[in-house]
Amino acid sequence: LAVPRPPFPFVALLVSGGHTQLHAVHGVGEYTLLGDTVDDAAGEAFDKTAKLLGLPYPGGPALERLAARGRRGAVALPRPMLGSGDLNFSFSGLKTAVLTYLRQQAPTDERTADIARAFEDAVVDVLAAKALAALDVTGLDRLVVAGGVGANRSLRDRLSAAARQRGVEVFFPDLQFCTDNGAMIALVGALRLQRGNVHDYRFTVRPRWDLSSVRTAGIVSAAS
């Protein structure tokens, strides 16, 4: 859904309400999981933190708008797992840190905006650092960002600036497609059909299906 479409292979940062993962993508349906969240996904943390701040749902866009009015560095929040030495994520503790701060400080409009800014900065710092580390680990020079949090302007700006500095490429879907699950699924289906992969209907519903095991499960050649 990015134009121009990124060639394989690349690192994918999948960052949404349900997932925060890094994958090495070798082809259509060929994924190697590099890192995952150990608790909340980034988008989930955005929504839960927005609720703590009294913002409407969906919380991500509302928190981003509020953060734009906040002062950088006015509130100190942790960067969970930033120095963990791996490519995994954790955002539950960041949400708890916001709750603790709110209990200790009487909320004002200015302070609430500062908290939103601090939260957004913390999430972007972690996502950007881990995504760039994934490029280093794999030796790849292309990064693709997918999922609803990929619409966040601060994340886009940070990764774009880092890509220019490093001489690598970063690809983002148009904003309208970041939260359009139907478009994403339809495109993957179309790409699989182009390669002659069809399903034989012998499958079991798996709500948590590891992407690395999807490539061959239940797939048969269109010629068979």
Neighbouring residues of 70: CB distance < 8 A, sequence distance ≥ 6: 113, 114, 115, 116, 117, 118
> Looking at residues 155-169, what average pLDDT do you find?
98
**Which CA distances in Å does 221 have to 64, 189, 209, 215, 224?**
45, 14, 22, 12, 5
The pTM (predicted TM-score) of the whole model is 0.86
Cα gap 8→171, rounded to integer Å: 12
CA 130, CA 88: separation in Å to the nearest integer? 8
The token pair at 82 is 């930033």
User: How does residue 202 score in pLDDT terms, banded at 50, 70 and 90?
Assistant: confident
**44-47, long-range: CB within 8 Å, 24+ apart, which pairs?**
44/17, 44/18, 44/91, 45/91, 45/92, 45/94, 45/95, 45/123, 46/17, 46/119, 46/123, 46/149, 47/17
pLDDT digits (tens, 9 = 90+) for 74-106: 999 999 999 999 999 999 999 999 999 999 998
In the prediction, which pLDDT does 105 show? 92
| pLDDT for res 195 | 74
Could you give the CA distance from residue 12 to residue 25 in angstroms, rounded to a whole number?
A: 7
Q: Residue 224: its pLDDT value, please?
A: 34
Q: Give residue 223's pLDDT.
A: 38
Confidence band of 200 (pLDDT split at 50, 70, 90): confident
Domains of the chain: 10-179 (3.30.420.40)
Q: How many angstroms separate the CA atoms of 220 and 43, rounded? A: 35
- Rounded Cα distance between 192 and 98, Å, is 43
Tokens read off for 106: 């009487």
